[in-house]
Amino acid sequence: MSNNDTLGNARIAILGYGSQGRAHALNLRDSGLDVVVGLRKGGPSWEKASAEGFKVAEPGEAVKGADLVAVLTPDMVQADVYTQSIEPNIKPGAALLFAHGFNVHFKRIDPRKDIDVILVAPKGPGALVRTEYERGRGVPSIWAVYQDVSGQAEAKAHAYANGIGGGRAMLIKTDFKEETETDLFGEQAVLCGGASSLVQAGFETLVEAGYQPEIAYYEVLHELKLIVDLFYEGGITKMLQFVSETAQYGDYVSGPRVIDAGVKARMKDVLTDIQNGTFARNWIAEHEAGLPNYNKFKKADLEHPIEVVGAKLRARMPWLQPETAKQAG
């Protein structure tokens, strides 16, 4: 990939070396860009990044002299990272980049007025961002400009997106508000909250009707992957092509009975709480209180009967084990 001159001679500081941080750092380096990784000394990520050949420094040191600082740490620590390590050290005219707009949009971070503030978010997990880059391809990415003091903020966002491989696929312009609110809504109403609650309710319905938990597990959780893969590969169109006519008819007549106008109305309530800041305020307060409700909710999910029976069944499916081990690592 030819480097964009905008970042060709720039130093890029990647703060965080998790799934996205590692992928971004490796891809940018392989694109010929100068990368330093900012991490707390002594942690496992420090050793991993060093072993993979990166210059590694404490976050504040990594920020000093950097032309672009990418914040790829978890949402709830970013405000402290900004206050302690970025704000005192980032040079005027440099760019501050996020992969999720939560902290800027909800005013947990008030960026200095003499820096560019941009967003680049690949629409895929870090492992995919890396493997697609290695194959000479890329993962579509969305980008945004929040603050442009250099006159080059858009060019910097594009250059960074190209550096991680996004330009090989597709770049979609957004803004911090749209990215943050749609991302939170998708997680809560469909991808995580909606899907897991739908699966649990389906399991409970079958078990309470007297069916075996093992059969219920396969019908409402295990086989969901088959449908989601079809969605992923070709949308609802491909799903309908590959399921039976009986399943199609059931989709048409029963889907709207379960996911009805009341569900959509409650989805709008969820979106309203995201838009007006209620969710963000509640989540920040929960985090600051030590996560008492979060831990209670998580415990309930992990101890749900579908997880108990699922663990036993998955242990008898050896084809799942390599994937499980890979994700755990």
Residues annotated in the binding site for NADP(+), as ranges? Answer: 17-20, 40, 45, 126
In order of 124, 231, 288, 302, 303, the CA distances from 296 in angstroms are 29, 33, 16, 10, 11
Binding residues for Mg(2+): 183, 187, 219, 223
Active site residue 100: yes
Select which of 100, 158, 222, 304 is catalytic. Answer: 100
Contact 156, 126 (CB under 8 A): no
Q: Which of 82, 121, 108, 313 is nearest to 220 (CA)?
A: 313
Alpha-carbon span 289 to 82, nearest angstrom: 21
Q: 151: exposed, middle or buried (C-beta count within 10 Å: 0-12, 13-18, 19+)?
A: exposed
List the binding residues for substrate: 244
Dihedral sign from CA coordinates of 269, 179, 141, 123: negative
3-state class of 74 per DSSP?
coil
- Give CA–CA dist 21/98, Å, rounded: 11
**Nearest residue to 127 (alpha-carbon basis) of 327, 328, 322, 325:** 327
Residue 118 dihedral angles phi and psi, to the nearest 5°: -135, 170
- Token pair belonging to 248: 């199609």
Beta carbons of 117 and 147 less than 8 angstroms apart: yes
* Catalytic residue numbers, as ranges: 100
